[in-house]
């Protein structure tokens, strides 16, 4: 370990001790965390090796219209065995500052990278399914660096990337745990564990539901909200027309992508919500099973240009994500999140109880679409940007655009 990181750890401990005092001696058992899953890797490789797939598709020529294409799956299987290197990936993950803290009986894992600027805005980034903290790593370093907003304001962030309860290294929550419960725990993480008075919150997919709950329910501490997704059910074409909302050509494509998800793309959603044990246990000890279930989403929810700049979403990235789900044995608990939040999509667009600024980023190949007219119903919308490259995982699919939009938080930030 470098001496600079030792000094940083000491400072982190000291900071935690001071915070503990401030809140009356409450201890969160904040401590550094190292990723070490090497013991489970041999079994994973053996399972990958031993999983037989058909030599040719049962129904040729259907491509990916009935789910993942056999050729794509076999190609990933072979790359997993030949090129993928867990040790190397783990080494680079451990270059980041990981911690765990105990909050409300849960162990919460998070990455915390500080800016050198004392005026940096604290920013929590909430991932979704089948994502993880990995989704935001391509923008992490640049977020901590000083930059300018479009209006020339200086901006940098202290970045916190937690693992949702039940995902990777965060413990599975009780059976009745909701997004609001996670929002409360994450607000505690930001304020009491890390000692920030105020912060900005951003999220995608399930993480957007948590971000919305923080934005709505902690209006004195969550002082800006950035969203790539919303916990409100999107309107269909007829409902948009009835609301007199007309769509641009880009928005029409985005709405078509939502209709596609809502008709032939939501089987996983219903299965996770209703029978997470059945699918979760079926996949629990099957890396290829998890690969099939998860890779299909990464591929079909991303820009078809994935892997070409600005996208960094390549096969290795998909294999890393699936390896993390398998090696941390968190496939079942991650899926339970849907069952625990069966009404996670509200149909009534209610305005959040906050005056904090809201920013929304739409991406062409995302799986759901909310025009600005709908977004402004649920928050104090200050900026709506629509990107014609990228999809459901903007941190991987278009990190350049995500970084740019996150930096705009500073334009509206009032400390």
Ligand X SMILES: *[C@@H]1O[C@H](CO)[C@@H](O)[C@H](O)[C@H]1NC(C)=O
Six-digit token string for 230: 């919303």
Residue where the block lists tokens 């105990």: 102
**Which residue number, 38 or 241, has a Cβ lying nearer to ligand X?**
241
Using alpha carbons, select from 206, 219, 216 the residue that is nearest to residue 179.
206
x/- track of binding to ligand X for residues 167-196 (CB under 6 A): -------x-x--------------------
Round to whole Å and give the CA distance between 106 and 100.
Answer: 10
Round to whole Å and give the CA distance between 60 and 70.
Answer: 10
Using alpha carbons, select from 162, 153, 147, 148 the residue that is nearest to residue 115.
147
The burial of 99, by beta-carbon neighbours within 10 Å (0-12 exposed, 13-18 middle, 19 or more buried), is given as buried
Candidate ranges 81-89, 123-131, 326-334, 350-358; the one touching ligand X (CB under 6 A): 350-358
Q: Check: CB of residue 364 under 8 Å from CB of residue 225.
A: no
Candidate ranges 4-12, 18-26, 311-319, 349-357; the one touching ligand X (CB under 6 A): 349-357
CB of 219 to ligand X, least distance (A): 4
Q: Phi/psi of residue 54, each to 5°?
A: -60, 150
Using alpha carbons, select from 118, 210, 117, 198 the residue that is nearest to residue 161.
210
**Which residue number, 30 or 103, has a Cβ lying nearer to ligand X?**
103
Among positions 135-174, residues that touch ligand X (CB under 6 A) are: 174
Q: In the 8-state DSSP scheme, what is residue 171?
A: P
Round to whole Å and give the CA distance between 27 and 8.
Answer: 20
Active site residue 109: no
CB of 306 to ligand X, least distance (A): 38
By CB under 6 A, name the one of 38, 62, 241, 243 that touches ligand X: 243
**Which residue number, 50 or 353, has a Cβ lying nearer to ligand X?**
353
The burial of 376, by beta-carbon neighbours within 10 Å (0-12 exposed, 13-18 middle, 19 or more buried), is given as middle
Round to whole Å and give the CA distance between 321 and 403.
Answer: 21
Among positions 319-338, residues that touch ligand X (CB under 6 A) are: none
CB of 176 to ligand X, least distance (A): 4
Candidate ranges 3-11, 112-120, 352-360, 390-398; the one touching ligand X (CB under 6 A): 352-360
Q: Examine residue 353 and tell whether it contacts ligand X (CB under 6 A).
A: yes
Residue where the block lists tokens 């505690």: 188
**Which residue number, 36 or 348, has a Cβ lying nearer to ligand X?**
348
Active-site residue, selected from the candidate residues 338, 365, 384, 412: 338
CB of 131 to ligand X, least distance (A): 26
**Which residue number, 141 or 355, has a Cβ lying nearer to ligand X?**
355
CB of 181 to ligand X, least distance (A): 9
Active-site residue, selected from the candidate residues 158, 205, 303, 397: 205
If one counts every other C-beta atom within 10 angstroms of the C-beta of residue 187, the result is: 21
Active-site residue, selected from the candidate residues 365, 384, 392, 405: 392
Q: Examine residue 244 and tell whether it contacts ligand X (CB under 6 A).
A: yes
CB of 240 to ligand X, least distance (A): 11
**Which residue number, 51 or 219, has a Cβ lying nearer to ligand X?**
219
The number of residues making up the chain comes to 415
Number of residues that bind ligand X (CB under 6 A): 8
The burial of 339, by beta-carbon neighbours within 10 Å (0-12 exposed, 13-18 middle, 19 or more buried), is given as middle
By CB under 6 A, name the one of 149, 171, 219, 316 that touches ligand X: 219
Q: Examine residue 40 and tell whether it contacts ligand X (CB under 6 A).
A: no
Q: Which helix (H) or strand (E) holds 33?
A: strand 31-33
CB of 96 to ligand X, least distance (A): 32
Candidate ranges 25-33, 145-153, 231-239, 351-359; the one touching ligand X (CB under 6 A): 351-359
Round to whole Å and give the CA distance between 40 and 327.
Answer: 6
If one counts every other C-beta atom within 10 angstroms of the C-beta of residue 35, the result is: 19
CB of 216 to ligand X, least distance (A): 8
Using alpha carbons, select from 101, 219, 98, 222 the residue that is nearest to residue 161.
98
**Which residue number, 95 or 353, has a Cβ lying nearer to ligand X?**
353
**Which residue number, 177 or 393, has a Cβ lying nearer to ligand X?**
177
Active site residue 2: no
Q: Examine residue 343 and tell whether it contacts ligand X (CB under 6 A).
A: no
Q: Check: CB of residue 369 under 8 Å from CB of residue 362.
A: yes
Active site residue 268: no
Binding site for ligand X (CB under 6 A): 174, 176, 219, 243-244, 353-355
Catalytic residues: 205, 338, 392
């Amino acid at each position: 370990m470098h001496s600079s990181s030792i000094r940083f750890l000491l400072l982190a401990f000291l900071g935690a001790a001071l915070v503990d005092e401030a809140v009356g001696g409450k201890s969160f058992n904040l401590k550094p965390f190292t990723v070490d899953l090497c013991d489970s890797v041999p079994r994973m490789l053996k399972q990958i090796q031993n999983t037989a797939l058909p030599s040719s598709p049962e129904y040729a020529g259907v491509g990916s219209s009935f789910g993942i294409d056999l050729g794509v799956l076999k190609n990933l299987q072979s790359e997993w065995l030949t090129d993928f290197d867990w040790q190397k990936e783990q080494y680079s993950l451990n270059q980041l500052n990981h911690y765990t803290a105990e909050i409300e009986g849960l162990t919460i894992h998070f990455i915390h990278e500080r800016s050198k600027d004392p005026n940096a805005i604290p920013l929590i980034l909430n991932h979704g399914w089948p994502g993880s903290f990995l989704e935001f790593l391509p923008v992490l370093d640049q977020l901590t660096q000083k930059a300018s907003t479009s209006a020339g304001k200086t901006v940098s962030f202290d970045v916190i990337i937690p693992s949702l309860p039940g995902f990777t290294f965060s413990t599975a929550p009780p059976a009745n745990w909701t997004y609001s419960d996670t929002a409360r725990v994450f607000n505690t993480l930001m304020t009491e564990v890390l000692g920030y008075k105020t912060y900005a919150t951003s999220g995608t997919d399930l993480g957007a539901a948590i971000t919305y709950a923080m934005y709505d329910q902690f209006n004195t501490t969550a002082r800006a909200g950035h969203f790539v997704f919303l916990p409100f059910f999107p309107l269909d074409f007829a409902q948009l027309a009835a609301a007199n909302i007309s769509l641009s050509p880009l928005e029409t494509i985005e709405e078509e992508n939502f209709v596609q998800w809502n008709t032939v793309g939501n089987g996983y959603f219903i299965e996770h919500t209703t029978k997470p044990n059945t699918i979760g246990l079926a996949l629990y000890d099957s890396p290829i099973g998890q690969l099939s279930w998860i890779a299909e989403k990464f591929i079909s929810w991303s820009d078809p240009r994935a892997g070409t700049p600005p996208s960094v979403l390549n096969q290795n990235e998909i294999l890393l994500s699936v390896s993390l789900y398998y090696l941390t044995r968190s496939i079942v608990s991650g899926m339970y999140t849907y069952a625990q939040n069966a009404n996670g999509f509200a149909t009534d667009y209610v305005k959040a109880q906050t005056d904090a600024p809201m920013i929304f980023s739409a991406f062409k190949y995302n799986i759901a679409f909310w025009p600005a007219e709908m977004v402004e119903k649920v928050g104090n919308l200050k900026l709506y940007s629509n990107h014609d490259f990228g999809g459901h995982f903007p941190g991987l699919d278009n990190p350049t655009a995500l970084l740019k939009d996150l930096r705009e938080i500073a334009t509206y930030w009032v400390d």
